[in-house]
Amino acid sequence: MRPALVFDVETVVDPDMARRVLAKPDLTDAEAMPLVAPPRSEGEAFGFPKPLYHQVVEISVCVIGPDGSVDVLRPLGGGDEAQLLQNFWAGFAHRAPAVRLVTYNGRRFDMPVLVQRAIWHGVSPAALWRGEYRQRFREAHLDVMDVLSDYGSSTPLSQHELATMLGIPGKLGVDGGDVRQLFAEGRSQDISAYCTCDVATLTLAFARLGPVAGWCSPVESESIVQGVRGALEALGESHPLYGHFLASLG
């Protein structure tokens, strides 16, 4: 199989970027964000911001070898946003163009955020612009949500819906809407564990779908599943969510 880099990004809205773009440094957070992300419905403070207005607070990755071995499953946290982006893009550049990217809604959200915020910090995302990674109907960048919706022809499944359908753990008491509050409270370990479990879910979904879709063989699929289990067991003492995920996996 083609080696794979499965990843997920956690973000919070960045009102400082809004103030810069609007050239209004004295705006409060509450004043700034509705100007760059207008409310979509009555009662909303603001809508979903463009990728530029998302500060990256965690990136988690799973690296799968050509035999289905799980070489890495972990969060990249431990630094500020610029360091996170540097770590991600350096790791990707080291593996490209041989590695396949695997995401869920990554073309629409994760990758534009990573590219635009990298440019802001002076970090090069140029490895993405070589090869076939930006060709939507090829699988150098396999956006599983995009594929399963027939590239937007049907309403997409959420990752949690897909996980439920496949009988693997999905959201376990935390979702993306909680990240802003966790970040405000300084709970970076909770964000890291949540993000890494999301990557574990996507990796297991990739493994389950792989033999059907031709992404991997049944033997490679089983190797991925066992590799994820082993990686989570190794992470287990660092946060209780990993044990909860394993218990749900059965």
Q: Can you list the domains of the chain with their CATH numbers?
A: 4-249 (3.30.420.10)
In single-letter form, the type of residue at position 84 comes to L
Whether residue 118 contacts residue 126, with contact meaning beta carbons closer than 8 Å, is answered with no
**Within 46-184, where are the H helices?**
81-95, 111-121, 144-148, 159-166, 179-184
The SS3 of residue 75 is strand
The SS3 of residue 10 is strand
The tokens for 164 are 């439920």
DSSP string for 86-118: HHHHHHHHHHTTTSEEEESSIIIIIHHHHHHHH
The beta strand positions in 106-245, using DSSP E, are 141-143
- Residue 50 has phi, psi (to 5 degrees) of -60, 160
Q: What is the pLDDT along the chain (250 residues), one digit of tens a residue?
A: 999 999 999 999 999 999 999 999 999 998 998 888 888 787 777 788 999 999 999 999 999 999 999 999 999 987 899 999 999 999 999 999 999 999 999 999 999 999 999 999 999 999 999 889 999 888 899 999 999 999 989 999 999 999 999 999 888 777 777 898 999 999 999 999 999 999 999 999 999 999 999 999 999 999 999 999 999 999 998 999 999 999 998 7
In single-letter form, the type of residue at position 175 comes to D
Q: Does this model's pTM top 0.85? A: yes
Rounded-to-integer distance, Cα 19 and Cα 25, Å: 5
Rounded-to-integer distance, Cα 205 and Cα 23, Å: 44
Residues 6+ apart with CB under 8 A from 240: none
Of 228, 205, 207, the C-alpha closest to 73 is 228
The tokens for 103 are 């995401």
Residues 6+ apart with CB under 8 A from 202: 6, 8, 62, 102, 103, 104, 144, 159
Q: What is the pLDDT of residue 30?
A: 87
Whether residue 232 contacts residue 245, with contact meaning beta carbons closer than 8 Å, is answered with yes
Tallying the residues shown for the chain, one arrives at 250
Residue 131: which region, alpha, beta or left (left: phi > 0; alpha: psi -120 to 50)? Answer: left
